[in-house]
């Protein structure tokens, strides 16, 4: 019997990577049920996964012990400072020992961590290479952080059996920047978070919301571009005094600068910041929002856009290269560097005909990019190719 391993390294605090990993786990559980393939999850970070593993009977969970986690963190820190040493760790990484012990035929890396020093067949999955275009955001780690990412991506792309990215645009970028064979890169579009679908029938959150608000679910990283959103919101309030702004997502290192800007713009009493919230609250936020706004610089695709589509919440988003693949004509696009453009696109949703048109197109697009079409069909087809599955 073939055995597929999957590395779980990003907990709930990682935002989109956590949602991406949860979708992969659900798909693998279904894949095992339909094919008889054994799935083993090697867990480095359990934060947020307890209930998930309880629901997936076809996945064996191997919780890596404290010694392994210490060694793994030590290796990552060495590579962070000295990226060229990543090749050395192929021969001493404990992950390779676990892989041999559990007889893994194919390992899946839903995120970039550890992939560079794995020695057997593996699937390398990632959502963006935005560090190539925006290297100066502090959350990328400065010079050492960029060198670390480059070591991970260059070695990972070189040695991976298969690479899975989330858009044709990103596929072209990987070929361009990492001299990778196009034939080993597969596109698996982002899809709606299954956990939110499940929460749709659960207890409704009792959180109190403004009557009319725009919604941005994003951690407070600089690349999420809250600064231009706040400036746009200031302009928007001059046209529509009834509107508020609701934010969710964990606070990060740049939060003080953001809160200072809110105070400077004198918009604090019109902004609600809830931090991290559970899925049932996210569901309520989408259902009642005037619009989703996504001014992020990173992409080209993002899960919140699909979540908004599903809950019939119109979306206005950054016009990033390749984003049309995901959103098509179901959103309004703006220049993320232009607060006036952001404000104008949000305000235009007061036109009911435009609003209803976007809602209809968005929901249809969410059905096209469904979990069944991509994670329970396309992803399984890719895995079968590299498992020599009949």
Whether the CB-CB separation of 331 and 306 falls below 8 Å is answered with no
Tell me if residue 254 falls in helix, strand or coil: coil
pTM: 0.89
| Residue extents of the structural domains in the chain | 3-191+371-386, 195-368
Asked if CATH classification 3.40.50.150 holds for the domain at 3-191+371-386, the reply, yes or no, is no
Q: Is the peptide bond before 300 cis (omega within 30 degrees of 0)?
A: yes
Task: Tell me the per-residue pLDDT of 295-341, one tens digit each, with 9 for 90 and over.
Answer: 999 988 898 999 999 999 999 999 998 899 999 999 999 999 999 99
pLDDT of residue 33: 84
What single string gives the DSSP state of each residue in 303-322? HHHHHHHHTT--EEEE--TT
Structure-token match 């991506």, residue found: 153
Flag residues of the chain having pLDDT under 70: 1, 11-16, 45-51, 66, 68-69, 80, 83-84, 86-87, 90-91, 112-116, 193-205, 389-390
Token couple for 28? 């693998």
End-to-end CA distance of the chain: 13
pLDDT of residue 195: 61
Whether the CB-CB separation of 99 and 5 falls below 8 Å is answered with yes
Cα 221 off chain centre by:
14
* H or E element that contains 334: strand 332-334
pLDDT of residue 202: 53
CA dihedral 223, 224, 230, 231 (to 10 degrees): 50
**Distance separating alpha carbons of residues 19 and 49, to the nearest angstrom:** 11
Strand 122-125 with 38-43, pairing: unpaired
Token couple for 367? 């059905």
CATH for 195-368 is: 3.40.50.2000
Domains 3-191+371-386 and 195-368 share a fold: yes
**32 CB neighbour count, 10 Å cutoff:** 18
* H or E element that contains 28: helix 16-35
**Distance separating alpha carbons of residues 75 and 85, to the nearest angstrom:** 9
pLDDT of residue 9: 77
Which DSSP letter does residue 137 get?
A: -
Cα 25 off chain centre by:
14
Q: Is the peptide bond before 17 cis (omega within 30 degrees of 0)?
A: no
What is the maximum span of the chain, computed from C-alpha positions, in angstroms?
64
pLDDT of residue 50: 67
What single string gives the DSSP state of each residue in 257-318? HHHHHHHHHT-GGGEEE--S--HHHHHHHHHH-SEEEE--SS-S--HHHHHHHHTT--EEEE
């Amino acid at each position: 019997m073939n055995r597929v391993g999957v590395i779980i390294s990003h907990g709930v605090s990682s935002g989109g990577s956590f949602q991406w990993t949860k979708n992969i786990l659900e798909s693998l559980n279904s894949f095992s049920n339909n094919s008889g393939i054994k799935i083993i999850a090697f867990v480095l970070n359990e934060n947020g996964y307890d209930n998930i593993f309880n629901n997936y009977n076809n996945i064996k969970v191997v919780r890596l012990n404290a010694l392994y986690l210490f060694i793994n963190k030590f290796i990552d820190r060495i590579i962070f400072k000295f990226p060229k040493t990543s090749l050395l760790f192929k021969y001493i990484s404990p992950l390779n020992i676990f892989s041999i012990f559990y007889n893994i035929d194919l390992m899946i890396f839903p995120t970039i961590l550890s992939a560079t020093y794995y020695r057997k067949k593996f699937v390398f999955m990632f959502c963006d290479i935005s560090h190539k275009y925006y290297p100066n955001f502090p959350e990328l780690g400065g010079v050492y952080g960029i060198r670390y990412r480059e070591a991970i991506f260059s070695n990972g792309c070189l040695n991976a059996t298969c690479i899975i990215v989330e858009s044709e645009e990103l596929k072209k970028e990987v070929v361009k920047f990492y001299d990778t064979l196009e034939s080993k890169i597969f596109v698996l579009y982002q899809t709606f978070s299954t956990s939110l679908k499940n929460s749709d029938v659960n207890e409704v959150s009792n959180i109190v919301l403004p009557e009319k608000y725009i919604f941005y679910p994003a951690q407070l990283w600089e690349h999420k571009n809250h600064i231009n959103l706040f400036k746009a919101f200031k302009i928007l309030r001059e046209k529509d005094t009834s509107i508020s702004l609701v934010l969710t997502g964990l606070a990060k290192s740049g939060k003080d600068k953001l809160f200072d800007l809110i105070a400077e713009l004198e918009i604090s009493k019109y902004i609600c910041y809830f931090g991290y919230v559970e899925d049932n609250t996210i569901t309520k936020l989408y259902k009642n929002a005037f619009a989703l706004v996504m001014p992020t610089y990173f992409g080209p695709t993002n899960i919140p856009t699909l979540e908004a589509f599903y809950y019939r919440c119109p979306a206005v988003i950054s016009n990033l290269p390749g984003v049309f693949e995901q959103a098509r004509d179901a959103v309004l696009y703006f220049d993320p560097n232009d607060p006036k453009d952001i404000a104008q696109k949000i305000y235009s949703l007061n036109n009911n005909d435009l609003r209803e048109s976007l809602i209809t197109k968005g929901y249809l697009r969410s059905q096209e990019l469904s979990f069944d079409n991509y994670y329970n069909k396309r992803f399984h087809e890719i895995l079968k190719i590299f498992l020599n599955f009949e």
